[in-house]
Structure 1
Amino acid sequence: MIIYKQFTFDAAHFSPNVPEGHKCKKLHGHTYQVTIFLEAAVLESDGWVMDFTELKAIVKPLVAQLDHSLLNDIEGLENPTTENLAIWLWQKIYPQLQILKRIELKETPTSGVIYEGK
């Protein structure tokens, strides 16, 4: 069974490694939507894969750290592409939640990444 929970946050960043003149070189922001997918068997005792309250307790502090921040100032996100941000989230969540299956991160309604820890 796969379950998921979505979170949103607003953050600014700039892309330091793009060529001069690229629009992403300048400071700009996004309303990010991150979806956390978990995969495991349904627990017979509870009837679910995981209590969403427990999932929120793990993810919400990370979202709070990112929300209304300059991503470039966060340790490990000096080059905060959407791809690098998805990897950063995986590295923070997976040690606490090894049933993590996938992270989908959108920086706009029409663009984003899917990361499965590989």
Structure 2
Amino acid sequence: MMYRITKEFHLSASHQLDHLPADHQCARLHGHNYVVIVELAAENLNDDGFVRDYHDLSPLKRYIDETFDHRHLNDVFGHSKVTSEFLARHFYDWCKQRFPETSSVRVSETPKTWAEYRP
């Protein structure tokens, strides 16, 4: 049995999947209001009764705000395959190094679409 918590973060950014056919809508420069949801899990709660204190995730908010918000993601990463799936894995890896309880990351480009990375 696992305890699970999630926290949601938001950013607005552009990208272009220019490796796709020219008639594909994602081949054009476009932007999204991304939602990133980080999930942390633990079998036991810490001494304060938490999986982890939500406030501990403040470095992720700073990282998102300072590195990704209102940026062109192709420039940030140096390539054009910046998909939601790629972002989910990137944020998972970043979080797992800092928060060992990280169990998955979900990224949404639209209210109806989600990509998730969960090893």
Give the TM-score taking structure 1 as reference length: 0.90
2:51 aligned partner:
49
SS at match of 1:79: coil
Sequence identity, in percent? 31
1:15 aligned partner:
17
**Contact (CA 8 Å) 1:104, 1:115: kept in 2 or not?**
yes
With over 3 angstroms needed to count, the CA separation of the structure-2 counterparts of 1:66 and 1:77, relative to structure 1, is farther
User: What's the CA shift for 1:9?
Assistant: 0.6
- Gaps spanning 5+ residues in structure 1: where? none
Letter in 1 for 2:61: K
2:105 aligned partner:
103
Over 4 Å off, 4+ runs = none
**Contact (CA 8 Å) 1:11, 1:29: kept in 2 or not?**
yes
Counterpart of 1:68 (choices 70, 77, 80) is: 70
Hey, what's the Cα distance between the residues in 2 that align with 1:78 and 1:56? Answer: 28
- The number of residue pairs the alignment matches comes to 115
Hey, what's the Cα distance between the residues in 2 that align with 1:8 and 1:77? Answer: 22
What RMSD over aligned residues (CA atoms) do the two structures have, in Å?
A: 1.3
Hey, what's the Cα distance between the residues in 1 that align with 2:62 and 2:77? Answer: 15
User: What's the CA shift for 1:26?
Assistant: 0.8
Q: Deviations over 1:46-100 (max 9, x none)?
A: 011111111122x112211111000001136541111111111112211111110
Give the TM-score taking structure 2 as reference length: 0.89
SS at match of 2:105: strand
- Gaps spanning 5+ residues in structure 2: where? none
